[in-house]
Structure 1
Amino acid sequence: MGKSQKKRQMRRHNPMRVPDSHLPKGLDAASASSSRKEAILPILQKMESPDPAERKWACVAVSNLIQNDPSTRRLLQGKNVVGALITRLTDSEEEVVIEAAGSLRNLCIDGGFDICAEMYNKNILAPLKTFVPKISTTLSKFLSTPKDVSESAQKLVYEFADNVITILWCLSETSNKAMNAINQISLIPFLMSFIASRDKLPTTTVTSAAQCLYVLTDENMPAVGELRSNAAFTTCLLSVIQSDQPAQPNSKNHAIPIDDRGLIFRVLCCGILKNIAPVPPPSLAATVDIDRAIVLPTLEPVLSLLSLSETTEQAQAFLAKEESIPEIEKLSLKHAPKSDHRTPSEVELQRLETKLRTVQLALEILTGLCASLPDPGSVVHGDDTKLDGDDESEGKLCEDMDADVDMVPDESPADSTPSNPTFFHTLVSPLLALIQPTSLSFPPSDGQSPHPPTTSALSAIHISALECLNNIFLSLRLAPAQAAHANADSGRMVWDALWHALDIVGTDINRPGQERRREMWEIGVGVAWGVANSWKGVLVPAESHIQVLIQLCNSTTDHSVKVKCIGTLECLAQHPDSVDSNRAIARYLLMLLPPAAAQPTATEPLLQAGSALIDIYSDETLPYDVNFRECNMLDALVASVEGVRRAVRGIDKKRERELRMRGEEVRDNLVAFIEYRRGLGV
């Protein structure tokens, strides 16, 4: 069972992108589905106009056309709009350069990796490199003599800096080649100058600098090393966390106002410190336990800042207001376009989206932290980590999931167990709330979401929360059996909450556009395995759950998902009194083994099925062992030995060394188990 690692993904502070991987490829398909194709040619023509006003208009018009419209974006891309905009970055008119940078920034956000790769291949870094020192020089003048510069001029430069930084951070996630090229620009001092002057600069620009720095320090050792080696930089980042007011959880009785940009900036600085930890002396950050003193206290309250159901209701209300606005009042190409032209409803939707992305970012950082928890088997429990809680603490476990319980100061996830009520409420309970889908979490099966950015953010939160839970329960799966029995109510609550979420997701996960639903199941079944392991023998298997797991195992082509399904079924089969469920699961597992399998089972699922049957029937005194005898499972296992041996021999010793060792272990255990059962004579 592998842990979910922190994924490289577009970390957008203004995510407009409509998931479109399922859409037909090619210009013909884009042209057929775009409602604005007539506007494309005039825009491209004006991009080359001798009149700078028309060139500026064309650059702004691109941003207006692509918003939440993948077909038009693809049509523009097919007409080389990226190349045309990159050319405008060297325009003789500054205003054209600024608007071209804004359009390219929005294309990065809207188009994702494909467009970023195209920009890199068309050498966008050449003009961007020249902008970095110019921006630094200009900002230095602004900060030293702010009264000598008009407010409008300052705003123009700040927005331009924001656009350039955003493009650079998007490009840095495109490929290792792009990242290596960006490493050569030496962006760290440039970006840290924004964070150091955060009190004098717009929050949006400073936040973009932090976003870029967060991405650059994500497993990128040149940037990590440069940041670690400068004590002033790391001390500055630490001061952001320690000096700013921490976020407060939302209350049922009153809503606590949140500085959205300030909060996401704080979370980003927390993530940067996590990326570069451990920090060497002489920095003050070297004296701080980043995980315990920075990451957990900063991020745990963020998990409870929002109610996803209430946020969805608010988004739907703003969407209804937006639909009621007459079309004539909305932006049109016939009028002078403005890059910041947004209705009040759009502004509020953006604000909600920023809050959602803040929660997603916190989850992403926590997933990385949870992935670094000790692996099962390496955790040594001393007397002070005894799992038996008293009656009072046991009662706390079943309190409402929104209970506000503070983190014990000297506690870390590595010290936590399923019986620890503080850990349970501060981390697990909020995560369970965040995996529950709302009506906007996924696009409908027959169309597009009414607001794709909100849908994208919500589904990302659900998936990130599942990844955190996956890592937590995998780390706790070897807790002693008596601990699980002592906390049976906790296990049932987690199990029920997980399946409630998956039931809402539904099993119609293979349609185009429903990739997020499928991902929910693929990660969710891993969480199910971890929970079932932690409370093995306690959870009563439901027939519906068994059938869904079997259906998913049969339908998926992902071997790791098959293994997770089989592992979960194995744990459910070990509920002592569920004889019928045990029989159904065992028969299915036997059908995965040779020669009974209708078609050859892949090696990893095959080994998991064989190992599962050994574990399920290792104790002949359990009530369900009657199934082993009555269903002649011993004969079936004997017949499978040669097929298992062939599968193990087929594993390459050099390329798949760990799998080969695992296979040999299962093969030997199977032979030994058969001899053991034969020796029982029952």
Structure 2
Amino acid sequence: MGKSQKKRNMRRHNPMRVPDSHLPKGLASAAATSSKNEAILPIIQKLESVDPSERKWACVAVSNIIQNDPSTRRLLQGKNIVGALITRLSDSEEEVVVEAAGSLRNLCVDGGFDICAEMYNKNILAPLKIYVPKISATLSQYLESPKNAPENAQKLVYEFAENVITILWCLSETSNKALNAINQISLVPFLMSFLAARDRLPLSTVTSAAQCLYVLTDENYPIIDEVRSNAGYTACLLAIIRSAEEAPKTNGKGKETFDVGADALRVLSCGILRNISPIPPPSIATTIDIDRDVVLPTLEPVLSSIDLQEASQAAQHAVDNQESTPQLENLSLKHTPKSDHKTPSELELERLETRLRTIQLALEILTGMCATLPDPEMFSGATDADGEDDNEAGDEDVDDAPDIDMTIDNADASPDTPGDAPQPPAFFTTLVAPLLKLVQPTPLSFPPLDNPSPHPPTTSALGAIHVSALECLNNIFLSMATSLAGRPSGLAPENGRTVFDAVWRALNAVGTDISRSGQERRREVWNMGVGVLWGVGNVWKGALVPTEEHVQVLTQFCGATADTGVKVKTIGALECLAQHPESVDANRVISAYLLSLLPPSANPPTPTEPLLQAVSALIDIYSDETLPYDVNFRSGRYLDALVQSVEGVRKAVRGIDRKKERELRVRGEEVRDNLVAFIQYRRGLKV
């Protein structure tokens, strides 16, 4: 059972706001689906105008015309808008440069990898490298002597810096070539200067710097070494995180507050510290357990700070009451790309999206942490948001810790566990329960298949949260199953059923129509969801009661998916469900399906990894002949089917390249040998 791995070329910290992979390719299709064709030519022409006010207008217009409109963005790309805007970065008028940077930033955020790669290939780094020291000098001048600073200092430091930093952040995730080039710009002191001066700068600019540094410290060792070696940098990051302890927790009326920008900055600072850990002396962070003392206490309250159903309703309300946006010809040139001429409803939608993306970011950091969880005892003293021990582990034995309350949607709490049973990690309740709420879809998460979302960025953010929460749960239960290593979990069966049912309810709400174009996010939820089901099944093996729906849907999903990794996870989930002792009928249906995947009966042949998983599953299911469902093995003559499959399994294992897929080859040889030994064992029983 493999962990969810991080891959730079497969993950964006800032996912495309409006996914467009389902749209037809080519300029003709873009023109056919865009309602702003007539606005394209005037924009292109005015970008080359001798009048700087017209060039500025054109840059602002680009930012407005691409909002939530991938077709128009693609149409502009076809007209070389990227090259034209990069040229404007060297414009003689500073306001044009600032607006051009803003438009390029918006294209990065809205366009994703492809448009970032185009910018890199068209040498956008050349002008950006020139501006980094200029911004630094102007920032220093403004901070040291604000009264003596040039009139345009604030614009350059705040707006232009934010645009440049965001472009660099997005480019750094485009390719290793772009990342290596950005590593040469010496960005760490530049970015940390914004964090150090956070009390005197706009929060959005500081947050952009933190986001860029978070991305640059993700498995990028030259930057990691530079940050971790400076004790002042790590002290600054810790100070940002701990600032939450000093801030008021309520609005004066007894209600907790949620500062979108401040929370995002603290979450990013957690991510940076985790990226650069372990931190060497003499930093104060050396003496701190980053995961236990910093990450969990900071991020757990963030997960519980939002109700996705309420957020979805708020977004729908803002959409329903959205004011009309100004026409391009009426746009004021006084505004910057930062405002993008947003109406109050659009600003509310943007605030909601920022809040949702902060939740997603917290989930991303926790997912990495949960993939490498240490022994559960490490978390027995995990602190809550107020810094107090959850279970006062310092004063009590672990055996006396309170039972885990896995109450979800008013489900009954689990019964008391025996005093000598191993206790689960203290973070289980505070982390798993909020995650199970975050996986439940809202009305805006997955709009009806034939209707577009009323606000695509909100839909994209909600879908990303569901996937990230499932990924985090996947790693939690994988880590628990690994650490338990066959020992009883110490959690009552009701706990496992509660988790399994909550995830299944979410998958049901998403629906099984996931093969059509444009349903990629639905597919992601299912692909990750079956992994969670497998993980839960491994922790509570034999305690989950399979239903006819479980078996039917999972077997159909396994047959339909072309992803071999997802097939393996689905087979694993089915294996766990088949091991409920009293569910003889479900066991028979599942085992019959698994046998159909074996050679020579499989048609077409099952890919190697799912084949090995199916063989391993059958061995595990029927390793104890005393269980009630073993009657299926005997009456169905499964032993004969396994004997017939041996040569096909051997052939599949021989086909695994020892050099290219060494681990799989070792796994294959182990399964092959286990199959032969299992057949001999069952023959020896003579039952």
Q: In the aligned structure 1, how far is the partner of 2:550 from the partner of 2:175?
A: 40
| Closer, same or farther: CA 451–399 of 1 in aligned 2, 3 Å | closer
**2:390 corresponds to:** none
**2:39 corresponds to:** 39
Q: In the aligned structure 2, how far is the partner of 1:576 from the partner of 1:138?
A: 72
Q: In the aligned structure 2, how far is the partner of 1:616 from the partner of 1:231?
A: 54
User: Number of aligned pairs?
Assistant: 656
> Deviations along 1:392-422, whole A, 9 cap, x unmatched?
944734476899xxxxxxxxxxxxx995384
Q: In the aligned structure 1, how far is the partner of 2:472 from the partner of 2:250?
A: 21
Q: In the aligned structure 2, how far is the partner of 1:622 from the partner of 1:352?
A: 53
| Closer, same or farther: CA 223–626 of 1 in aligned 2, 3 Å | same
Deviation at 1:4, TM superposition (A): 1.3
Q: In the aligned structure 2, how far is the partner of 1:143 from the partner of 1:678?
A: 82
Q: In the aligned structure 2, how far is the partner of 1:399 from the partner of 1:458?
A: 20
Q: In the aligned structure 2, how far is the partner of 1:593 from the partner of 1:387?
A: 50
2:549 to 533, 538, 544: 544
**1:411 corresponds to:** none
SS of the residue aligned with 2:481? coil
| Closer, same or farther: CA 387–243 of 1 in aligned 2, 3 Å | closer
Deviation at 1:243, TM superposition (A): 3.4
Q: Out of 331-340 and 232-241, give the one that drifted further.
A: 331-340
**2:170 corresponds to:** 170
Instruction: Structure 1 unaligned segments of length 5 or more: list them.
Output: 404-416
**Which letter does structure 2 place at the counterpart of 1:659?**
L
Q: In the aligned structure 1, how far is the partner of 2:411 from the partner of 2:548?
A: 30
| Closer, same or farther: CA 513–469 of 1 in aligned 2, 3 Å | same
Structure-to-structure mapping, 1:180-259, within 5 angstroms: 180-245=180-245, 255-259=255-259
Deviation at 1:191, TM superposition (A): 0.4
SS of the residue aligned with 1:568? helix
Deviation at 1:237, TM superposition (A): 1.3
Alignment partner of 1:464 is 2:468: yes
**Which letter does structure 2 place at the counterpart of 1:373?**
L
1:333 to 326, 329, 332: 329
Q: In the aligned structure 2, how far is the partner of 1:355 from the partner of 1:423?
A: 23
Q: Are the aligned partners of 1:577 and 1:623 in contact in 2 as well (CA < 8 Å)? A: yes
Q: In the aligned structure 2, how far is the partner of 1:623 from the partner of 1:68?
A: 57
Alignment partner of 1:122 is 2:122: yes
| Closer, same or farther: CA 51–301 of 1 in aligned 2, 3 Å | same
**1:103 corresponds to:** 103
Q: In the aligned structure 1, how far is the partner of 2:7 from the partner of 2:441?
A: 21
1:661 to 657, 666, 679: 666
TM-score calculated relative to the size of structure 1: 0.92
2:452 to 448, 454, 466: 448
Q: Are the aligned partners of 1:396 and 1:421 in contact in 2 as well (CA < 8 Å)? A: no
Deviation at 1:235, TM superposition (A): 1.6
1:650 to 655, 658, 677: 655
**Which letter does structure 2 place at the counterpart of 1:332?**
L
2:12 to 10, 13, 17: 10
Deviation at 1:257, TM superposition (A): 1.7
**Which letter does structure 1 place at the counterpart of 2:500?**
W
Q: In the aligned structure 1, how far is the partner of 2:399 from the partner of 2:531?
A: 27
| Closer, same or farther: CA 165–485 of 1 in aligned 2, 3 Å | closer
Q: Are the aligned partners of 2:227 and 2:233 in contact in 1 as well (CA < 8 Å)? A: yes
Alignment partner of 1:677 is 2:673: no
Q: In the aligned structure 1, how far is the partner of 2:115 from the partner of 2:188?
A: 25
**Which letter does structure 1 place at the counterpart of 2:605?**
P
SS of the residue aligned with 2:657? coil
SS of the residue aligned with 2:428? helix
Q: In the aligned structure 1, how far is the partner of 2:563 from the partner of 2:397?
A: 36
Alignment partner of 1:522 is 2:527: yes
Q: Are the aligned partners of 1:470 and 1:527 in contact in 2 as well (CA < 8 Å)? A: yes
SS of the residue aligned with 2:127? helix
Let me know the Cα RMSD of the aligned residues.
2.6
Deviation at 1:597, TM superposition (A): 1.1
SS of the residue aligned with 1:241? helix
**1:427 corresponds to:** 431
Deviation at 1:631, TM superposition (A): 0.6
**Which letter does structure 2 place at the counterpart of 1:556?**
T
Q: Out of 473-482 and 663-672, give the one that drifted further.
A: 473-482
Q: Are the aligned partners of 1:227 and 1:233 in contact in 2 as well (CA < 8 Å)? A: yes
| Closer, same or farther: CA 420–331 of 1 in aligned 2, 3 Å | farther
1:636 to 622, 633, 641: 641
Alignment partner of 1:437 is 2:433: no
> Deviations along 1:148-199, whole A, 9 cap, x unmatched?
3478751453101100101010100110000000000000000001111111
| Closer, same or farther: CA 486–218 of 1 in aligned 2, 3 Å | closer
**Which letter does structure 1 place at the counterpart of 2:467?**
I
Q: In the aligned structure 1, how far is the partner of 2:73 from the partner of 2:541?
A: 51
| Closer, same or farther: CA 430–254 of 1 in aligned 2, 3 Å | farther
**1:154 corresponds to:** 154
| Closer, same or farther: CA 368–418 of 1 in aligned 2, 3 Å | farther
| Closer, same or farther: CA 273–480 of 1 in aligned 2, 3 Å | closer
Structure-to-structure mapping, 1:578-589, within 5 angstroms: 578-589=583-594
Q: Are the aligned partners of 1:303 and 1:431 in contact in 2 as well (CA < 8 Å)? A: yes
| Closer, same or farther: CA 224–506 of 1 in aligned 2, 3 Å | same
1:474 to 440, 455, 478: 478
Instruction: Structure 2 unaligned segments of length 5 or more: list them.
Output: 380-392, 413-420
| Closer, same or farther: CA 152–116 of 1 in aligned 2, 3 Å | same
Structure-to-structure mapping, 1:373-384, within 5 angstroms: 373-374=373-374
| Closer, same or farther: CA 518–423 of 1 in aligned 2, 3 Å | same
> Deviations along 1:46-66, whole A, 9 cap, x unmatched?
110111111111111111110
| Closer, same or farther: CA 422–234 of 1 in aligned 2, 3 Å | closer
| Closer, same or farther: CA 437–248 of 1 in aligned 2, 3 Å | farther
| Closer, same or farther: CA 566–249 of 1 in aligned 2, 3 Å | farther
Q: In the aligned structure 1, how far is the partner of 2:294 from the partner of 2:587?
A: 46
**1:276 corresponds to:** 276
Q: In the aligned structure 2, how far is the partner of 1:3 from the partner of 1:358?
A: 24
1:606 to 599, 611, 617: 611
| Closer, same or farther: CA 140–214 of 1 in aligned 2, 3 Å | same
TM-score calculated relative to the size of structure 2: 0.91
Deviation at 1:245, TM superposition (A): 3.0
Q: Are the aligned partners of 1:249 and 1:305 in contact in 2 as well (CA < 8 Å)? A: no
> Deviations along 1:304-328, whole A, 9 cap, x unmatched?
0000001111111111110xx3x4x
**Which letter does structure 2 place at the counterpart of 1:540?**
V
Q: Are the aligned partners of 2:249 and 2:257 in contact in 1 as well (CA < 8 Å)? A: no
Deviation at 1:423, TM superposition (A): 2.4
Q: In the aligned structure 2, how far is the partner of 1:680 from the partner of 1:250?
A: 68
> Deviations along 1:250-304, whole A, 9 cap, x unmatched?
99x9642222111101111111000000111111111211111111111111110
**2:68 corresponds to:** 68
| Closer, same or farther: CA 248–639 of 1 in aligned 2, 3 Å | farther
SS of the residue aligned with 2:198? coil
**1:316 corresponds to:** 316
**Which letter does structure 2 place at the counterpart of 1:187?**
L
